[in-house]
Every structure is written in structure tokens, then in C-alpha cells.
Amino acid sequence: MHKGGLVVDASLAADLFAAKDKARAQIAEKVVECIERHSISVYAPRLFLVEVAGVLVRYLAPSIVERVLDAFSSKVILVGDEAYFRIAVEIALATGSRGADSYYLGLAKTLNLPVATSDKVQAQNARKAGIKSFYILSNNELEELMKYMGCK
């Protein structure tokens, strides 16, 4: 059963609309269906919208991407970096993670929530930082995430 929410990164969100293959899209859809069915609180840094826009506009018309961003804005709790910026810097220093990834990890650490991602490096860096992560492209971790959210 879920314990209060989940931090979701842009890789998972982008897979809903621009996955590299059908299997990836289906996994992302399965996660989102569970989130919606169980009213899981989903958090992301405000940067999430910028990252999702930057990926999706490569595949979709800007007007469609704007609608997608509006939908995400109403479903994802977007958090400014005031509360977790320093922690994000510390995580970047400790793990060598990409700057954007460190934002997600800093937020997760601040909120004491796990991260769901389809980015293997992000999941590895989360673990290095002592943050629970679910790499959804791993069958075992996807199953763990579904249990965490109450869908299994």
C-alpha cells in the first residue's frame, strides 16, 4: 500500500507519448493507470514541465505538447526548488548525477518519497543517495512499485 506519494521523473512521463518502443509505453501507461486508480499523490520539481516539453516537442506539435503540459500541471504537484535545492546540490556532489536528476532526487529525499523512473542511471543514483527508487523497466522493480501503490 502506498505511503503518501511518489516522485515521478520526466522519463516516465515522456514514455507515455514518445516511448522508444511499444513495451515502454505500455509500462508507463500501467503505472499511470495505477496512480489514477488509487489517487496516488505525484510530485515533481517544476523543472519536470521543461524537461517533458523539451522531449515531446521533438515528436509532437507544440500545440499538442502544451495540452499535455496542462494535463500534467493539473495532476502532478509541482514543487519549486526552495525547499530542496541544497539537498539536490549535495546529491549531485555525492553521486555525480546529472543536474536535472539531482532535482528529482533532492525532492524525493526532502519529501521522504521514492522515485519512479524509466531512466536506469537515475535509479542507480537514487540508490547511491539512499533514496528508494523504482526502475520501471525492470520487471521486479515494476512489480515492487505496483505493490507500493496498492495495485498488486
Helices and strands of the chain, counted as H and E runs:
8, 5
CATH of the domain at 109: 3.40.50.1010
Angle at 135 between CA 111 and CA 129, to 5 degrees: 45
In a domain, 84, yes or no: yes
Model pLDDT, residue 152? 78
CA–CA distance, 92 with 85 (Å, rounded to integer):
11
109, 131 Cβ separation under 8 angstroms: yes
Q: Please, which pLDDT band fits residue 3 given cuts at 50, 70 and 90?
A: low
Where in the sequence is the domain holding 22, given as residue range(s)? 6-147
In a domain, 1, yes or no: no
In a domain, 126, yes or no: yes
In a domain, 103, yes or no: yes
Average pLDDT over residues 71-92: 96
Cα R_g (the chain), whole angstroms: 14
In a domain, 20, yes or no: yes
Average pLDDT over residues 57-79: 96
In tens, the pLDDT along 34-65 reads 999 999 999 999 999 999 999 999 999 999 99
Question: How many domains would you assign to the chain?
Answer: 1
